[in-house]
A and B are shown apart, each in its own frame.
Chain A
């Protein structure tokens, strides 16, 4: 058992054509040789030239290596080889020298990185504090401008300021003020003014939320430490891995769902996990700039044993994952909407600027009314679904009751996966 499925492997593909090419290259006829051991897989693929391409996979990350000229990552050879491995087609054997060399060089690089981290000289705390204070002053100054802008809009009325341009301009100002989180919120608000039937309520709420955030930033030192982290995070101040320091949980984690969004040139990948023993959720964020590979890529439908560390928050959710060891996937969890709603209310009470929270409904089915799809829990309560019609779920499950997992945005749920008698289906 490889612990990987073909679908999970294909989810790693950088684009649809790579996935298609990878599937084609999963045919044994395309490979001169292939082998695997506990931690790695390797193979030599027939190429257009005389020499085959050498492809290797470190299963720990997973990480990929291929001698083909493709700039895509992972390339079609790596995907094809990985699919063969997932399907149990590759026999165990001793790795050839070129694989051992690659794995050794990876280990050496990791060791050097760890050494460098330990040996890093302590930054001058006084200078660091001064820089931090200066940055904070810039942010506060920017927030003052933002509040003045919002008050101006509130005074004149939204109907008088329908142009998104003014919102974009203030957003750009927030970027300059090093508050990119506020910038993102302002751009989002500007795009919603005058759009859709309920735009006024949505925009009013979001403007109010930004106002409260600005107020919280002004009173930051009076807030509990955990909530301070949430305010800083909402402002867009990046948290450094070195300052994580939150609760640590050693458990088996099932990756239940994943969503990606593109913000400017950055792709943000949000993976939701659940600890099998502790029953806690965790959310892992990965970033990719301009199409480069993610530093860590988790596949929905996979599981691993690992110690995770929570980032500080009044509602700890974001996690950093330490060494992973793959294990078989066993999705669990789920409740009716009443229980989920209570949990969500507690989240917002603890951390008011939380935009997304995980929700898992058990024994849910789908219904539709006037073109709006709903997830209906076992008590018959319907929760609106964000996004298009869930045809893939209907095809797989035939609308038999199952567990639905997704992201809750305060109004609707975006389905990310479902499982039931039909198996597990990432959406």
Chain B
């Protein structure tokens, strides 16, 4: 309304300097210019508000695509609470569970989920669903996604293109990402990476190559031939070890400069063993893992073999081999072998070991090192042990406990800090409620 805008300008400047709009517009019985202007302003403003015009031509936002996924409707409350309390491990766990059950988050939780830090957003990405992804796009929220998991070829191409510009940490990390969707198509690139000047990059590349039916794997198998053989005597057996010549090992195989004062041949044997799938030795000797390890312990190459097998059991995720090593091998010469086996050995073996060790903080440390969900029995053991460790911060254990351990927390803690006890109760109660939303649907 032009008259109103003109009047507003007049009032900015002041009627002392410029008169108000002509009084023929409205019959105002006022003597002063100021009053005339004010009354006119009030009247025009009223007319302006009463005749408020809407805008035309505003484009409506495109609606969200139809949602086909099943929604975990009951999860709103527990999810919001987990986000408010900052229990990010529970969020990640729920996200994985939702993906497993083909469920997505309820709409009422989406805003908060998109407000989480990038690593949590990434973990929750499978549970966003069509609505969540649409909302993220509308809001301009980035969801970090493992590009490799989505489409391997572009990631490989990008890595190839950028290789020269990456520092060694980025190169190693980029190679490790190739594990998702690993295929023979990655072999040429990995072979190149296996010749990198940095040992960390070479090891990362070889660690993947040995999982493929690759040329390197064939060369390793060839090098392993004849290294171990069983000599059968009348009442006993012994293991004959013929370590490979260092120069006969595949060129791409990463080499260790020194380990436990081993000589060159023993080091070569160690390097070959740690990249050879353990089942190769079982085929070669016809022995079960524990038999082979017992014999190896008596040979002059025991340290090289046990250390190599320890690393191989981790690399090839061979639980049976890890169990056999744990029960049979002498850990004393090996630093870190015990800790790495903690992550690999089977649950019954781990639990038996824990019970035999007694309730000590060492038990709790081993559980923490293992960093895996605990069985009901082990959960109860862990809680009992933690109860006797008044000053130990048990909160990291909460992520691993089985729900059956929850009632144990209801009992008073002797000497424990109330805050820790309360934290556990809240955490596990929320964990149970979150998991229920996946199952009880």
A-to-B contact residues, CB < 8 Å: 6, 16, 20, 23-24, 26-27, 29, 147, 150-152, 154-160, 200-201, 203-212, 215, 337, 341, 344-345, 348-349, 352, 365-369, 374, 376-377, 380-384, 389, 391-392, 394-396, 398-400, 410-411, 422
Contacts and interface: CB of A to CB of B under 8 A. Distances in A.
Interface string B7-35: 11101111111000000000000001111
Contacts of B15: 154-155
B139 interface: yes
Interface stretch (B43-51, B222-230, B302-310): B43-51
A394 B61 CA distance: 10
Contacts of B16: 155-157
23 contacts: A6-B77, A20-B84, A152-B34, A157-B13, A158-B12, A203-B8, A204-B11, A207-B42, A212-B43, A344-B52, A348-B46, A348-B49, A367-B59, A376-B60, A380-B58, A383-B55, A391-B111, A394-B61, A398-B63, A398-B134, A399-B61, A399-B64, A410-B49
Contacts of A337: 54
B42 A209 contact: yes
A384 B52 CA distance: 11
Contact of B56 (A349, A380, A384): A380
Contacts of B81: 20, 23-24
Contacts of B349: none
Q: Is the interface of B mostly helix, strand, loop or mixed?
A: helix
A377 B56 CA distance: 10
B8 A395 contact: no
A422 B107 CA distance: 10
A93 B101 CA distance: 38
B4 A201 contact: yes
Contacts of B80: 23
Nearest to A26: B77
B111 A399 contact: no
Interface residues on B, range: 35 or more
Contacts of A209: 42, 45-46
Interface-central residue, A6, A24, A374, A377, by most chain B CB under 10 Å: A24
Contacts of A374: 55, 58
A76 to B, nearest CB: 13
B34 A201 contact: no
A377 B55 CA distance: 11
A102 to B, nearest CB: 29
B39 interface: yes
A417 B135 CA distance: 19
Given A209-B45, A365-B61, A367-B60, A158 B111 contact: no
B138 interface: yes
Contact of A396 (B52, B107, B430): B107
Nearest to B109: A395
Interface string B78-109: 00110011000000000000000000000110
B108 A396 contact: yes
B54 A368 contact: no
B170 interface: no
Contacts of A16: 84
B145 interface: no
Given A154-B34, A157-B12, A395-B107, 6 more contacts: A23-B81, A24-B81, A341-B54, A377-B54, A389-B139, A400-B63
Nearest to B131: A398
Nearest to A48: B418
B153 interface: no
A344 B135 CA distance: 34
Contact of B58 (A27, A369, A411): A369
A363 to B, nearest CB: 11
Nearest to A7: B108
Nearest to B76: A6
B25 to A, nearest CB: 13
Nearest to B9: A200
B8 A382 contact: no
Contacts of A204: 4, 7-8, 11, 41, 45
Contact of A24 (B54, B62, B426): B426
A205 B48 contact: yes
B63 A365 contact: yes
Contacts of B32: 151
Contact of A154 (B5, B37, B63): B37
A352 B111 CA distance: 40
Interface in B392-441: 426, 429-430, 433
Contacts of B4: 201, 204-205
List of 5 A-B pairs having minimum Cβ-Cβ separation, nearest first = A208-B42, A157-B14, A205-B45, A208-B41, A398-B64
A201 to B, nearest CB: 5
Contacts, number: 180
A212 B50 contact: no
B46 A156 contact: no
B220 interface: no
B172 interface: no
B73 to A, nearest CB: 11
Interface-central residue, A200, A204, A215, A382, by most chain B CB under 10 Å: A204
Nearest to B5: A201
B49 A411 contact: yes
B135 A391 contact: yes
Contacts of B7: 204
Contact of A207 (B38, B46, B131, B429): B38
A345 B54 contact: no
Contacts of A155: 14-16, 33-34
B111 A366 contact: no
A365 B110 contact: no
Contacts of A156: 14, 16
B46 A366 contact: no
Given A157-B17, A201-B8, A395-B107, A208 B45 contact: yes
Contacts of A29: 429
A26 B81 CA distance: 12
Given A20-B84, A400-B63, A394 B138 contact: yes
A205 B41 contact: yes
Contacts of B67: 398
Contacts of B253: none
A391 B38 contact: no
B111 to A, nearest CB: 5
Contact of A345 (B40, B44, B51): B51
A150 to B, nearest CB: 6
Contacts of B41: 204-205, 207-208, 211
A290 B108 CA distance: 31
B56 A211 contact: no
Contact of A376 (B34, B58, B433): B58
Contacts of A411: 49, 52
A380 to B, nearest CB: 6
A381 B52 contact: no
B52 A394 contact: no
A411 B15 CA distance: 27
A27 to B, nearest CB: 6
A209 B41 CA distance: 8
Given A157-B13, A394-B61, A382 B134 contact: no
B46 A352 contact: yes
B40 A208 contact: yes
Contacts of A366: 60-61
B21 to A, nearest CB: 12
A209 B40 CA distance: 10
Contacts of B12: 157-159, 200
A201 B11 CA distance: 9
A189 B412 CA distance: 61
A260 to B, nearest CB: 21
Contacts of A154: 11, 14-15, 33-35, 37-38
B60 A211 contact: no
